[in-house]
Structure 1
Amino acid sequence: MTTIQDQDHDQDRDRDRDRDRDREKDAARPPRAVVGSQISHDEEMFGAAFDGKVVRRFFTYVKPYKHRIYIALFSVLVFTGAQLAIPLIIRYAIDKALIAEGGSGSILLAAMAAFAVIILINYGASYLQDLLVGLTGENAIFDLRRAMFMHLQHVGLSFMDKTEIGRMMSRLQGDVNSLQEFLENSITAIGDLVLLVGIIIIMLVLDFWLGLLTLSVVPVLLFVRLVWLPRARVAFRTARETNSSANGALAEGIHAVRTVQGMGREAVNFELYKEKARENLRSHLRSAKFAQAMIPIVDTLTGAAMGIVVVVGGALVLDDALDIGVMVAFLFYVQRFFDPIRSLTIQYSVMQRAMA
């Protein structure tokens, strides 16, 4: 009897010893394997979203081509001036040649000739701007790629040990393309801002009170944008981070495919990558919602402003307090006023991607 009890006691002791050994193995075992980089580590290595230093550092690669940039800026200003002049020519043709008593065909022909000249200037300035900005962007990105490659040849081994190669390649390639897009859109953004200011000034000069009433929708837009901006910034930043993580995971999986196959971890790695891809999908869907949220709001405010011009301007025309050509010009300017706002909204997402 005692022998049986001793044997049971020895078996219990062996089981306890095995259980303790398993616990020690579990404690020593690393946490669940991950594929790709973590978002927090990504930000630690590559920095935060917007930083003015990033812009200054990037434009050092643009400086050798500053003469092209100056010509492109001049072309943008000429293009903007042509855009501002078109409604004024239409207004002149309506009031002086079509509506006014004694209007002659010569005035209409002169207006048509001026319109044709403005269209040609508009085309030439737009072509020159796109050509110069494209050439400058390609050359600046070429210099940047060379500088990055030279820099990577001299980074410390500790950096390479802490950084996943796949994620780093994803960030380098994707961010360089975003910087090129940012450079090309920066010139356009300057033209959009000048166009906004020019439209406001012209509308107030044509008819101060009607212009002021038309611009009454702008505070609503500013309030909506104030609410939208911080949330959109977070969404764009998260999308950039998850995209880097997913692309890095894919590159790491391809790089280590022989090891994965040798260990029979295909299914495990696929599930890990699927989590990264699903997280990337969710973040991009969220950023897409924020990117598109402002467009219908801008379109609605455009319709409201045009409605104000038609109702109030039409009443003034019927009372002979406003020329019909001025009202038509107002309609053109209202449409053109919200176009650059819509464009600047889209360009904001480009800037956020480039500021990584």
Structure 2
Amino acid sequence: MIHSKSSLYMNRTHTGKKLPPGAVAPPPEMTEEEMFSTVFNETVLKRFLRFLAPYKLMISASFLAVIVFTLTQLAFPILIQKTLDRQFTFLGDGLESLKAGLLIFAAVVVLNFISHFCMEFLISRVAQRLLFDLRRAMYEHLQRVPLSFMDKMEVGRLISRLQGDVGSLQEFLETSVHAFGDIVLLMGIIGVLLWLEPTLGAMTIALLPILVLIHYFWLPIARKAFLQARTTSSIVSGTMCENIRGVRVVQGMIREPVNLTLYEEKANDHFKSTVHAAKIAQIMLPTVDSLTGIAMAIIVVVGGGLVLEGELTAGVMIAYMLYVQRFFDPIRALTMHYSIFQRAMASGERIFEVLDVSVDIKDAHDTIDLENLSGDIKFKNVTFAYHPQQPVLKNINLEIKNRETVALVGPTGCGKTSIA
């Protein structure tokens, strides 16, 4: 059968299959309001830190590497300034001063490389181990949850939690270290700007309120767009898993066109939300570039005048321009880190919800380990009930010898499955 094509977002096509009444895909696992209100959850953070406890030494080392890496980033413009102004005189004046500056610069470059490598290596190692620990904990717990939970919970949503939500916590750990570095870098740049030339520093920092005001209006819109993209991604993953898991039933009922149409709708929603989030995210790039250009213009006009008047050296002006190029980058990065943090809080709640599912059937405290089993099965006055006041089996006596095959025959509801 040939179906008509209908237009989708950005000139893509849709099969156009008309859905029968009542045909729907699974609803979102968490509403937008629930996700958008998840800003900080102390319980989630504490439980997340418990998973990180075995790796506290590596995490501490990664934070130390971040500090060293950030300090080397701050040192580069100062080294260039002092080299150009010939302030390194321990090897002599003139050309020897330039050689001394190059030697120090090369040493800092090596330290920058080592610290950067250690930072990325350590935090990536911890993040991968955290990923493994969380998924193993969830998988191990899912082996022991009651069947009633598995009957109510769609497999696709569990897969979404095992994959997407655990990945969000891994991303949060990695970005937390980078966010710490961005904060140190921002504070360091502000301090150095005011130290080198207070007037130019104050004029550059005066642009911060403009960026803060832009963030104030941009952040709620961006947060909603990012979380909407995450929500639709979870829906698409869940819909796909459920369809693949039940593909035999789908084919048996000749429901392929209906399921394809349902999936196309969800995939299209995800595509639109992802493109929209990308557009919102790109607003900050030209904004930061524009503010950087304004700050550079201030340095060229005001700083150039100070250089011509002899009140400022050329090295200091060049250092200022290098610092201003990096000044707004940490702010933009911290904005993105905040979105990741908020998404991680929502994902953490969903992960720990699974880990908190109660296990109804547990071994008694006085359980005896069975050894030297003969293979015989013997029931002696066995009574069993799913509900305390409604026994399904009562005083059952049964003995099955090793390697013996027994068939249980009886009407529906007589207890065959319960015995088996």
Q: TM range, normalised to the smaller chain?
A: 0.7 to 0.9
Match of 1:197 in 2: 187
Name the CA shift for 1:97/1:42 in 2 (closer, same or farther; >3 Å).
closer
Which whole-Å CA distance do the structure 1 matches of 2:56 and 2:102 have between them? Answer: 37
Contact 1:97 1:105 survives alignment (8 Å):
no
Change (3 A) 1:348 1:295: farther
Work out whether 1:216 is the aligned partner of 2:199: no
Q: Which has the higher helix share?
A: 1
What's the offset of the Cα at 1:69? Answer: 0.8
Question: Counterpart in 2 of 1:168?
Answer: 158
Equivalent residues of 1:181, 1:350 under 8 A apart: yes
- Contact kept, 8 Å, 1:235 with 1:287, in 2: the verdict is yes
What does the per-residue CA deviation read over 1:77-105, in whole Å, with 9 as the maximum and x for residues that have no partner?
A: 0111111111111111112269xxx9511
Q: Do the aligned residues in 2 keep the contact of 1:305 with 1:334 (CA within 8 Å)?
A: yes
Q: What secondary structure is seen at the aligned counterpart in 2 of 1:154?
A: coil
Equivalent residue number for residue 30 of structure 2: 42
Q: Secondary structure at the residue paired with 1:42? A: coil
- Residues 291 and 349 in structure 1, CA contact (< 8 A), matched pair in contact too: no
Cα shift at 1:235: 1.3
Residue 189 of structure 2 aligns to which amino acid in structure 1? I
> Are the counterparts in 2 of residues 249 and 273 from structure 1 also a CA contact under 8 Å?
yes
| Alignment pair present for 1:108 and 2:98 | yes
Paired position in structure 2 for 1:3 = none
Whole-Å Cα distance in 2 between the matches of residues 186 and 320 of structure 1? 44
Cα distance, 1:151 vs structure 2: 2.3
Structure 1 residues 293-345: Cα deviation after superposition (integer angstroms, max 9, x where no partner): 21111111111111111111101111112121111110011112122223333
Q: Is the 8 A contact 2:40 2:342 kept in 1?
A: no
2:136 match: 146
Q: Could you say which residue in structure 1 is the equivalent of 2:246?
A: 256
Q: Gapped runs of 5+ residues in structure 2? A: 1-19, 348-420
Check the 8 A contact 2:186/2:330 in 1, yes or no. yes
For this pair of structures, how many residues does the alignment match? Answer: 321
Q: Is the 8 A contact 1:294 1:345 kept in 2?
A: no
Structure-to-structure mapping, 1:65-84, within 5 angstroms:
65-84=55-74
Partner of 1:96: helix, strand, or coil? coil
Counterpart for residue 14 of structure 2? none
Query: d(CA) in 1 for partners of 2:329 and 2:303?
Result: 21
Three-state SS of the structure 2 residue aligned to 1:193 is: helix
Q: What residue number does 1:16 align with?
A: none
1:179 paired to 2:174: no
Contact in 2 for aligned 1:97/1:104 (Cα 8 Å): no
Alignment TM-score, normalising by the size of structure 1: 0.85
In 1, distance between residues paired with 2:260 and 2:272?
Answer: 18
Q: How many Å separate the matches in 2 of 1:156 and 1:202? A: 60
Instruction: Specify the code of the residue in structure 2 equivalent to 1:127.
Output: F
Structure 1 gaps of 5+ residues are 1-29
Aligned counterparts of 1:201 and 1:167: Cα–Cα separation in 2:
48
**CA–CA distance in structure 1, aligned partners of residues 254 and 70 of structure 2:** 62
Shift of 1:109: 1.2
Aligned partner (choices 43, 64, 84) of residue 54 of structure 2: 64
Q: 1:328 aligns with which of 306, 309, 318?
A: 318
RMSD over equivalenced CA pairs, Å: 2.1
Stretch deviating more after TM superposition (229-238 or 217-226)? 229-238
1:52 to 41, 45, 56: 41
Secondary structure (helix, strand or coil) at the match of 1:264 reads coil
- 1:57 offset after TM fit, Å? 2.0
Identify the structure with bigger relative contact order (alpha carbons < 8 Å, sequence gap 6+). Answer: 1
- Is residue 2:228 matched to residue 1:238? yes
Instruction: Give identity over the alignment, percent.
Output: 48
TM-score by length of 2: 0.72
